Amino acid sequence: MSIFSKLLTLFRGTAHEVGQKTVDANALRILDQEVRDAGAELTRSREELTKLMAQSKLAQQKIDARNAKMAEYVRYIEGALGKGDEALAHDVAAKLAALETEDRADQATKVQLDQSIVSLKAAIQKAEGQLRGMRQQIDTVKATDAVQRAQATIAARHAGANSRMGSALDSLDRIKARQAEAAARIESAEELESSSGDGDLNKRLAAAGLLSGDADAASVLARFKKPLQLGADSAPAALAPPAPATGTLSDVHEVGVRRDAGN
C-alpha cells in the first residue's frame, strides 16, 4: 500500500512538473488569454453599468411623474377643503397617501441604484487602468522575450561558429602532426640508406677535403688558364741568349752532352 501511495505521489509530482513546464513554456499565451478574459469581463461590467444607469433614469422619470401627480392631488385637497368638501378632500388624501408610499419606496430604490452606479463606475475605471497597465507590461514582456530569443539565437550561432572553428583548428593540428611524422619517416629512411651504402663515406671524405665536389665556373676557368700560364713561362726561357762560357773544356763538353741528351 505504501508503494502504491509513493507511486501515486510520484505520478502527481511528475504531472505537476510537466504541467508547470507547459505553463512556463506558454506563459505569454496564457497571459494574453487572461487579459482577453479580463477585457471580456470588463465589457460585461460596462453593460451592467449601462443597465443600472438606464434603470436609474427610468426610476427618476417615474418619481418625477409621481411627484407631479402628488402635487396635483395636493391642489385638489386644498381646493376641496377651501370649498368645505371634507369628504372629497379625504378621498384625494387617500390617493396622495398611496402615492407617497410608492414614492418613498422608489426613492430608496433610486438611491441604491445611484450608489451601485457610483461603485461600479469606480470599479470599472480601476479595472480599466489595471488592464491598460497590464497590457503595457505585456508589450514590454513580449519585447524583452523577443530580444532575449534573438540574443539566445545569436549566442547559439556564435557558440556553433566557435565550435566549428575549434574543430577546424583541431583538424589542422592533426594534419600538421601527420605531415611532421611523414617528414621524420622520410628523413629516417634517407639516413638509413646513407649509412648502409657509400653515402656516409662520401660525406666523411668530402668533409676531410679528399673528395672533389662538383665542378663550378671558377674551377673550369682555372683549368683553361693553367696551360696558358705554362706556355707563357716557357717562352722567355727559349728566347734568352746563351750564358758566356766560364768553365773548363770538360765542363763545356758536359754541357753539350746534356743538351744532346735533352734533344
Q: How does DSSP assign 107-172, residue by residue?
A: HHHHHHHHHHHHHHHHHHHHHHHHHHHHHHHHHHHHHHHHHHHHHHHHHHHHHHHHHHHHHHHHHH
Q: Considering the chain, what percentage of its residues have pLDDT values greater than 70?
A: 71
C-alpha cell belonging to residue 190: 634517407
The answer to the question of residue 145 being in a domain is yes
Q: Which of 94-98, 123-127, 139-143, 209-213 has the lowest mean pLDDT?
A: 209-213
The answer to the question of residue 73 being in a domain is yes
pLDDT value for 191? 73
The answer to the question of residue 218 being in a domain is no
pLDDT value for 263? 46
Phi, psi (rounded to 5 degrees) for 214: -70, 145
pLDDT band at 204 (very low <50, low <70, confident <90, very high): low
pLDDT band at 246 (very low <50, low <70, confident <90, very high): very low
pLDDT value for 193? 66
Tens digits of residue pLDDT in 49-78: 999 999 999 999 999 999 999 999 999 999
The answer to the question of residue 247 being in a domain is no
**Tally of structural domains, the chain:** 1
Domain that holds residue 47: 26-160
The answer to the question of residue 7 being in a domain is no
pLDDT over threshold 60, residue 256? no
Cα–Cα distances in angstroms (integers) from residue 147 to residues 152, 155, 222, in the given order: 9, 12, 85
pLDDT band at 262 (very low <50, low <70, confident <90, very high): very low
Rounded Cα distance, 80 and 82, in Å: 5
The residue that leads in pLDDT, 202 or 188, is 188
Rounded Cα distance, 9 and 20, in Å: 16
pLDDT value for 255? 45
pLDDT value for 160? 64
The residue that leads in pLDDT, 126 or 11, is 126
pLDDT over threshold 90, residue 182? no
The answer to the question of residue 195 being in a domain is no
The answer to the question of residue 180 being in a domain is no
| b/e 44-57 (16+ beta carbons within 10 angstroms → b) | ebeeebeebbeebe
pLDDT band at 222 (very low <50, low <70, confident <90, very high): confident
Q: At what angle do helices 86-196 and 199-208 cross, to 10 degrees?
A: 70
Give the pTM: 0.50
The residue that leads in pLDDT, 114 or 196, is 114
The answer to the question of residue 84 being in a domain is yes
Rounded Cα distance, 126 and 133, in Å: 11
Nearest to 109 by CA among 52, 68, 50: 52
The CATH number of residue 62's host domain is 1.10.287
* Cβ-based neighbours of 38, under 8 Å, separated by 6 or more: 127, 131, 134
pLDDT over threshold 70, residue 44? yes
Arithmetic mean of pLDDT, 119-130:
91
Mean pLDDT of the chain: 78
C-alpha cell belonging to residue 105: 419606496
